[in-house]
A and B are shown apart, each in its own frame.
Chain A
């Protein structure tokens, strides 16, 4: 059984995840900022976003992106033609619509969890820190910038890492539902169905290949996070 399809699929999944991770981190940080801001309507928007996307299955989000957006005439997700991004996509030969829909769905969905991870970090900083900063006369932004954030990011690393691991695994859904994207899980279908009888992979072979692909990404990351967590627990 040729190994090339798995390698190709692995690389597509990796690209999908790196792009989605960057997008989710940016959007998630933005929403976290909304959620702690002093302006009530902005807080409400942040909370609404998180509530909606944490309680909706990713499958539904992907369906919305892949079938709903084309209904609105965005068959190619053209609004994602951000100058640098489209160049990267063309460079990667990933300029297919479904890849974009997958990125959109993963980013919007994961951002809610990234936001909660950031917020967990902020909440983990002892309130005395922020109170001391306030008593020194620091403003809201100074407080966040010089006192809370430098401590919060340490607490946020482990939850953020778990969110990214979850996203890696979630990206398999894109392949499962679309199949067009040619990601790691998407290779299964092509392997089993389309090849000639002699070269066709059995389902077991395909399963083992795909599993190894995902485990290569998730297990080391998970072990690394365990170590970070243990170190922190000891330091405390």
Chain B
């Protein structure tokens, strides 16, 4: 994009840009010094007392803190893995169901007897309505609220778990399965009509056409969006704090509180920094994977998703907008519209 917006700089422009670069580096440095380093230093945040238990192996608490952190991260990974698998499975189920119902819409089922045909029409209509409401309901709620639903409301009705992790996992699955279902559905909608028509001309039923023709293609096309949603789920596991599940963030908080109650300077900033950095590293790696698969797919000639950026791409979770379409530098030289037009050519 950048190269499109302005000409290759000439000698004068290059001089200006070098000067501007140096000036901005100096300004950024000053800004960091006065706005970040100075406040930290002035409040004794950079002392070994606060950072020691994280970076000084001779610190008495060093190994204890790190083994706690390791345990926290393992819990995070366990919860994330379970939520991801369950969300994808349930999401595929929702997508299958909604596509099936849509394929049946308007059919009279005249090949059946009168009783079953009326019943089939009614279940189609009712199922469409219910699944629509289900999707809109859970898509519109904050994840915190669905977790609350599982942790408090379901619990009041007798659904209790030994391990707090399940409250988090089920809450995340309720929300993310709906989002993944919508991703897959829009992937199937984006397929050329010919796919569905060819399938039905071969005599495949609606269900077969969806299972054997449409869904596999939707899964491949939407792979980048799915990976982004996986990143969102991973980020959302930090909500385990609310259900008192000892994942990474809550572990950090426990360590801070333990330090505070034992009277040593609270390592608030160091602990949250290390947690944040870990999250950034893992999620960044995952999002790079999304960009990589997208690049590979655009090379392999598979059709890319139809729209530039749909509502789905933003994930809506606490991860907020995590759009693949706009991630990284992939889109920078070729706009998505041009790419989807050129699809089919290797």
Does the CB pair B137–A38 fall under 8 Å? no
Output the least CB separation between A114 and chain B (Å).
Answer: 8
Of the candidate stretches B89-97, B108-116, B139-147, B214-222, the one touching chain A is: B139-147
Q: Given known contacts A59-B249, A68-B272, A113-B314, is B335 in contact with A125 (CB within 8 Å)?
A: yes
CA distance A109 to B280 in the complex (A): 13
Output the least CB separation between A3 and chain B (Å).
Answer: 18
CA distance A175 to B153 in the complex (A): 18
Chain A residues contacting B7 (CB-CB under 8 Å) are 134
Does the CB pair B28–A162 fall under 8 Å? no
Does A41 make an interface contact (CB < 8 A)? yes
Does the CB pair B4–A63 fall under 8 Å? no
Interface centre among B5, B144, B282, B311 (most CB of A within 10 A): B5
Q: Given known contacts A40-B21, A233-B307, is B321 in contact with A204 (CB within 8 Å)?
A: no
Does B2 make an interface contact (CB < 8 A)? yes
The residue from A51, A131, A144 contacting B284, defined by CB atoms under 8 A apart: A51
Does B202 make an interface contact (CB < 8 A)? no
Does the CB pair B242–A177 fall under 8 Å? yes
Does A14 make an interface contact (CB < 8 A)? no
Does the CB pair B323–A120 fall under 8 Å? yes
Chain B residues contacting A185 (CB-CB under 8 Å) are 142, 144-145, 148
Q: Given known contacts A38-B2, A72-B45, A110-B320, is B142 in contact with A60 (CB within 8 Å)?
A: no
Does B207 make an interface contact (CB < 8 A)? no
Does the CB pair A159–B287 fall under 8 Å? no
Does the CB pair B337–A126 fall under 8 Å? yes
Does A158 make an interface contact (CB < 8 A)? yes
- Indicate the size class of the contact surface on chain B: 35 or more
Does the CB pair A36–B1 fall under 8 Å? yes
Interface of B is mostly: helix
Q: Given known contacts A51-B284, A130-B4, A207-B153, is B145 in contact with A170 (CB within 8 Å)?
A: no
Chain B residues contacting A163 (CB-CB under 8 Å) are 314, 320-321
Q: How many residues of A contact B (CB 8 A)?
A: 81
Output the least CB separation between A193 and chain B (Å).
Answer: 11
Interface residues of B in 227-273 (CB under 8 A from A): 231, 235-236, 238-239, 241-242, 249, 253, 256, 266, 268-269, 272
CA distance A42 to B231 in the complex (A): 27
Interface string of A92-116 (1 = CB under 8 A from B): 0000000000000000011001001
CA distance A133 to B150 in the complex (A): 56
CA distance A108 to B116 in the complex (A): 57
Does the CB pair B326–A159 fall under 8 Å? yes
Does the CB pair A120–B309 fall under 8 Å? yes
Interface string of B318-333 (1 = CB under 8 A from A): 1111110111000111
Does the CB pair A59–B332 fall under 8 Å? no
Output the least CB separation between A17 and chain B (Å).
Answer: 12
Does A200 make an interface contact (CB < 8 A)? no
Q: Given known contacts A51-B284, A68-B269, is B309 in contact with A57 (CB within 8 Å)?
A: no
Tally A-B pairs: CB < 8 A. Answer: 240
Does the CB pair B315–A169 fall under 8 Å? no
Interface residues of B in 4-34 (CB under 8 A from A): 4-7, 9, 17, 20-21, 24-25, 28
Interface string of B260-302 (1 = CB under 8 A from A): 0000001011001001100111111001000000000000000
Does the CB pair A57–B235 fall under 8 Å? yes
Interface residues of A in 112-166 (CB under 8 A from B): 113, 116-117, 119-120, 122-127, 130-131, 134, 139-140, 143-144, 148, 155, 158-159, 161-163, 165-166
Does the CB pair A51–B280 fall under 8 Å? yes
Q: Nearest CB to that of A161 among chain B residues? A: B311
Chain A residues contacting B2 (CB-CB under 8 Å) are 36, 38, 43
Chain A residues contacting B316 (CB-CB under 8 Å) are 162, 165-166, 169
Does A73 make an interface contact (CB < 8 A)? yes
Does A12 make an interface contact (CB < 8 A)? no
Does the CB pair A41–B21 fall under 8 Å? yes
CA distance A38 to B320 in the complex (A): 29
Closest 8 CB pairs between A and B?
Answer: A172-B142, A55-B283, A120-B326, A162-B314, A169-B142, A113-B321, A57-B238, A218-B140
Q: A56-B283, A176-B144 are in contact. List 9 more A-B contacts (CB 8 A).
A: A36-B5, A41-B28, A45-B28, A68-B272, A72-B40, A120-B326, A126-B337, A170-B318, A233-B307
